[in-house]
Structure 1
Amino acid sequence: MGTKTILIVDDEQTTRQGLKKTLEIWSAGKYEIMSAADGPEAYELFSKTKIHLLITDICMPEMDGLKLLQNLKIKGYKPVVIIVSGHPNFDYAQEAIRLGVINYLLKPISKQKMIEAVEQALETEVSIERVDFMEKVVDQKLMKIDRRNDHSKFAIKEALTYVNNNLNRQITLKEVADSVYLNASYFSVLFKEQTSLTFSEYITRKRLQIAKTLLLTTDSQIEEIALEVGYQTSKYFIKLFKDYEGITPSKYRKMVNAEEIQI
């Protein structure tokens, strides 16, 4: 991941420059600190770069801070937000909370308080990114199996562990049934009963979930990923991926990476 960007929006030049200087000294180059003099300028910046943390004043001409947040939300931009205000206003605070603002600071703000708020906001941003990533790769049916695994029969728990440890190679139902000392036919019925998936569908979903993670976290070629998740040919892997996800692995990677850049 590249350098994260913090955007400061305030129509008061002295305040804006002071905050920018404070955060530049604090970040020591770890973060890119940008600034905008008003809402429209800030809104324009969002179309050009990904903003991870937005620090914005409320009272500004043309487009105030809350209107800026409303417009950003409509466009699908999801920065973590700190509001800065010169005066306490319950209505402003209520609307800020509704728009997902995580902190509401009153001017004048000490350097230490601002830095603490920024550090907290960036921790929140990391957590949100993790959740967004999980939503992109996690198979909901597999999650249900994981949740109820504690209530599964011992043989099925053992079988799931065996499968999960051997997904990178060819694996058969009989082999797994043998590993838990069950007849293959009985094992097939029991597996479906306990997981609500057929044995082959479970393996496919599990492999594709790993593949999605590799597509988003590595630069590996499609052929390499196919082999890594147990498919001998990339052609078959691509067909399965498209059947389940609706797009090819290459398009999936491009689409999600594009979202990462734009949002």
Structure 2
Amino acid sequence: MQHHDYVLVVVRNLQQANDDDYVKVLRKQGYRVEVVPAGEDPIPIMLARPPIAACFQFDYPDLQGLTDLRHAKQRVASVPMLMITQAHSEHLAVWAFRCRVWDYFVHPIDMPRFLAVLESLRHTKLSGNPSPSPNGHPEPISSLDSQNAIPHEARLRCPPPESGQAHIDRAITFIDKNLHRKIAQSEVADSCHLSTFQFSRLFKRLTGSTFQDYVLHRRITEAKRLLANPRVSITDVCFTVGFSDLSYFTRTFQRYVGQPPSRYRVGMTEATFSPSAPPETAPKNDDIKSVARAEIPEPDTSPYRS
């Protein structure tokens, strides 16, 4: 069977968002990539124009998705199948290799190894040389399939144990409890049981803001609330919301609010004691997307308290 110089990506995600950064890397490396969206059958394409490899992309594999992969391997046995998933599961990995999946990758993908595998397959398939078995087993696929039940966790056909919003709610609670100190994205990701890569993508998708932008926005919002109390010094407000340098706090506050903390406090006081002035609307904890327009220092060099 003649193979064509492209990589086929078969999307079988349960959720709408696609973790496709690896696709962008492939294209930058000169690979031609074609994508089969969820719900479409990849087998006609694989039969008409066999690719050098087919990447089955899952977030959390379910019964239908794994059945599709196994069926594709049975129908187009000469095409190497790669499995890419967010699920860290030994049972799934064993199942995949017994189905003669060529290789198994878990997010965040080890890109050097992933590219090395594809380059090897590309060289082999386009040169016309027969491909060795990925695991060295000569058993026919039917023999392997008869001993390889789909893992129970996929048969449940259920979403991941926590929704994305549940992770973000936990992260926001963590941030609010720790505004007084430097907050590393990695420790918040750990508290959500996610990798830093997964957490970063999920946070941006659900809040519309990067993690560092959101934290800085929350610090300024909290500072505005504290400044309403005239008995609290501006220096104490600065330290309480996680800044260790008063001048940096003043500059940052002015960039966000349009005036320095001292003038903001005077304005609040005048509004409070003026009988004709309407009460100030409480600061809103939204409009996070506006934070992305501010010039924000890199998180590792910002003088937050540690």
Check whether TM > 0.5.
Answer: no
Greater fraction of residues in helix: 1
For the aligned pair, the TM-score class normalised by the smaller chain equals 0.3 to 0.5
TM-score between the two structures when normalised by the length of structure 1: 0.40
Rg larger in structure? 2
TM-score between the two structures when normalised by the length of structure 2: 0.35
